[in-house]
Every structure is written in C-alpha cells, then in structure tokens.
Amino acid sequence: MAAPAPQGDPAAEVRLSKRMSELGLASRREADDWIERGWVLLDGTPAVLGTKVAGNLPASRIVIRKAAQHRQAAQVTILLHKPVGYVSAQAEHGYTPAVALIKAENRWAECEAPQPFSPAHLRHLAVAGRLDIDSTGLLVLTQDGRIARQLIGEDSAVEKEYLVRVSLTDAPARNGAEEDVQAAFTESRLALLRHGLKLDDQPLRPAQVEWINPQQLRFVLREGKKRQIRRMCELVGLRVTGLKRVRIGGLRLGALPLGQWRYLREDEGF
C-alpha cells in the first residue's frame, strides 16, 4: 500500500469539484451538479461524482460542456445599497432580509446592464459579505459561486472599505454638541486598530485606518469577522454610531441610491 501523501503535498488527492473551485471554474456545489449531469469531462471522459484528482491538476485537463457554460453565463450578481433595519441574509427576530428589496420597482433607473429583471434571479442568491442590521452601504448578492468565493472565501484578500462614525465610550454627554473624538484619541490606540488586536482568540490581519474628520474613521479591511469593526472599536474605547460600506474590491457604492439595486455589468469585476 502506498504511503499517504504528506500534508500540503500538491499531488495529494482532492475531489474534482474542490479542484474546479480552486481553479475558479465553478463553486464546489455547482461543480458537483455539473458532474452529476455529465457536463464535466476529465481527460476527455465524463467525470463521476466523487472523483478524486491530484491537488495540482491543471485546468487544461478539465473541459466544461456548453450547457454548463450557458447556465453559468445566465447567473447574476446584484449590488444593493442596504438601508439600516434590514438583515443581510435570512430573516431573524422578525426583521426583513435585504433580498426583499430586490424587485423590479427598486431597480436603479441608471442600471446599465441589459437584462430585464426576472424572479429567477432571486433563486440561490447568496450574500457575499454581510452587513449587520445597524449598518448601511454596499451589499453584494450573487448566484455565481466563483464571485462568492472570491469575496468571502478563506483565502480572500479583497479589500472592503467603510466609513465609520464614532464617539468615545467614556465621554460625558455633550447635549448634542459634536465632540472632537480625534483629538482625544491617542495614536497608540489608532495603531492598535491598524494592527495588534484579536477577536475570537485570533489575531486580525493588518488594516488601514485613518481619520477623515474629527468624528469619522475610514477602515479598509481584508477580512470580515462578525461585527468586526464595531468589536475592534469597543476594544480601544470607541463606540460606533454609524457604519457604511462604500467599496468592495474595485467596485464602489457610488451614486446608487439607498434601498435600490443594480446588476453587475459584464465589464465590471472585484
């Protein structure tokens, strides 16, 4: 019996669907579906569900039939300006999920994508990077597993940019007057926001954090733990009073109105 391949060995066997996902050909679920339908050829032969291949199998040995290509091309990705009060994914505690806003009357009049809205575009529409109920800004919902993996996969390094309004947790009430948080906030605590904090016993990746006015910070993150910015701020004595995501990768929220959505165009990417 052959000895098992050492951990991390590129020749170690993995499921074909996993390798297809790593190569950016499809999501794992999508790849499994295609394999079951006979739409994936491995070295010219229809692949079988559960087939294992070398972890460094080149894409050139995998052929995707046109039926799968057509299905993938029909998938949509939607950009929504999420308002406060909506949850990103499944409805919870009586709150409305953001997907409820994806309907014909809420489509931005300046959406340049040619396809008409169809209820079929709501099927298997997954959120790729959540915003909590108290946050607003750019929310991506996609049927394309490749995009979801790009944005929220474990190895994702796509930047997410946020504008974050803050106050000091230990500051006395100022009767509506604007406090100069920046002046009272030490450089050492700002440095901690940039690098050195832990959440869930795990060190956070370095972040870009800078003041844009005395009450507002700009954050650029390359990860997305649950309520990450709010929890980071709490650790250094700040309270988040407003949070808006304005960019994901190369795509900005721009002029997309609050509560409206548009399709990702073919010439756009993250």
201 is catalytic: no
Q: Which of 132, 134, 155, 201 is catalytic?
A: 132
Please tell me the CATH code under which domain 75-156+253-263 is placed: 3.30.70.580
174: CB partners within 8 A, 6+ apart: none
Over pLDDT 70: what percentage of the chain? 93
Strands (E), the chain: 13-15, 40-42, 45-46, 52-54, 62-64, 77-82, 86-87, 96-97, 126-127, 136-142, 160-168, 198-199, 202-203, 208-213, 216-221, 238-248, 251-252, 261-263
pLDDT tens digits, 1-16: 344 444 556 568 999 9
77-82 and 86-87: which strand pairing?
A: unpaired
Q: Does domain 160-248 have CATH number 3.30.565.10?
A: no
Pick the CATH number of 13-72 from 3.40.390.10, 2.60.40.10, 3.50.50.60, 3.10.290.10: 3.10.290.10
Strands (E), 98-159: 126-127, 136-142
pLDDT tens digits, 24-54: 788 788 888 889 888 899 999 999 998 899 9
Tell me where in the chain the CATH 3.30.70.1560 domain(s) lie.
160-248
Q: What is the pLDDT of residue 3?
A: 42
pLDDT category of residue 246 using cuts at 50, 70 and 90: very high
Q: What is the pLDDT of residue 121?
A: 92
Across the chain, mean pLDDT equals 89
Tell me where in the chain the CATH 3.10.290.10 domain(s) lie.
13-72
Tell me where in the chain the CATH 3.30.70.580 domain(s) lie.
75-156+253-263
CA terminus-to-terminus distance, the chain: 46
112: CB partners within 8 A, 6+ apart: 262, 265
* CA pair distance 100, 263, nearest whole angstrom: 16
* CA pair distance 106, 98, nearest whole angstrom: 12
* CA pair distance 43, 185, nearest whole angstrom: 61
pLDDT tens digits, 142-178: 998 888 888 988 888 899 999 999 999 987 655 555 7
**Residue 122 pLDDT > 70:** yes
Q: What is the pLDDT of residue 2?
A: 40
